[in-house]
A and B are shown apart, each in its own frame.
Chain A
C-alpha cells in the first residue's frame, strides 16, 4: 500500500540537542511538506519542497532545517535554536505543487525532557 511513514511516533529532546524526524513516501509524489500543530490549533507550515534538491521556508522555519536528497525522503531537523519545540509534527505530500490534495503521515509527537 502506498503512503507516508513518519518515525518515530514519539520523540524526546534534551536541552541543546538537535533531533531529526523522518518522513518517507512511496506515492511517487513530487511535493512534500512539514507542518507543526500545537494543541487545539491548526497546522502551520515549516518547510516545503516541490522537487528533489530544492526546498523553501514556510511560515515558521526558524529553528528548523530540512533536506531533500531523494524524492521519497524529506527529513526535518529540530535544532537547539528552536526554543519551543514541543508539538505534533506532520509530514505530507502531494502529486505536484498545483494545489492537489495532500496526503499525511500519522505524525511525530516531540517533547522536551
Chain B
C-alpha cells in the first residue's frame, strides 16, 4: 500500500501565485523527503524534514510536517513557469532500511 499520498493530483496556477501540495502517510517515519521530477527526467531532491522538525525552508520552498496528523505540505511561493513539474513526497520507515516509499505525485503546471 502507498505510504505517501499526495493531494491534489494536479494543480494549475498562474505565474507569481503560490502552490501548495499535501502529503499524507500511514506509519511512523524518521524523515520525509520531497522530490521534483521534470517530464522524462529523473527525480531531484528538494528538502528532507526529520520527524522532530515542524518546518523547514529552502529558497522559495517551505515544508511543514505534522506527525500527529501524519501529514506534510510543500509550499512554493511566487511560482515560475520553470516550476512546472511533478512533485513527490517520500517517506522512510523507522527501521533505517534506506528504503523510501513514494507517493503518486502532484503534477504542477505554472502558466506564464
Interface residues of chain B, those whose CB is within 8 Å of chain A, are 2, 4, 30-31, 33, 40-45, 48, 88, 92, 96-105
**A42 touching B43, Cβ below 8 Å:** no
**Which residue on B lies nearest to A9, using beta carbons?**
B40
The interface residues of chain A lying within 8 Å CB-to-CB of B45 are 101-103
Q: Which residues of A does B touch, CB under 8 Å?
A: 4, 6, 31, 35, 40-45, 48, 50, 58, 90, 92, 94, 96-107, 109
Q: How many A-B residue pairs have CB under 8 A?
A: 61
* Dominant secondary structure at the B interface: loop
Partner of B41, one of A43, A45, A99, A106: A106
CB atoms of A97 and B42 under 8 A apart: no
- Contact A99 B104, beta carbon cutoff 8 Å: no
* Cβ-defined contact, B42 with A104, below 8 A: yes
**CB closest residue in chain B, given A94:** B98
Q: How distant is A29 from chain B, measured CB to nearest CB, in Å?
A: 11
A107 adjacent to B41 (CB under 8 Å): yes
Would you give 10 A-B contacts (Cβ < 8 Å), ordered by A?
A31-B98, A42-B4, A42-B102, A43-B43, A43-B102, A48-B98, A92-B43, A103-B45, A104-B44, A107-B42
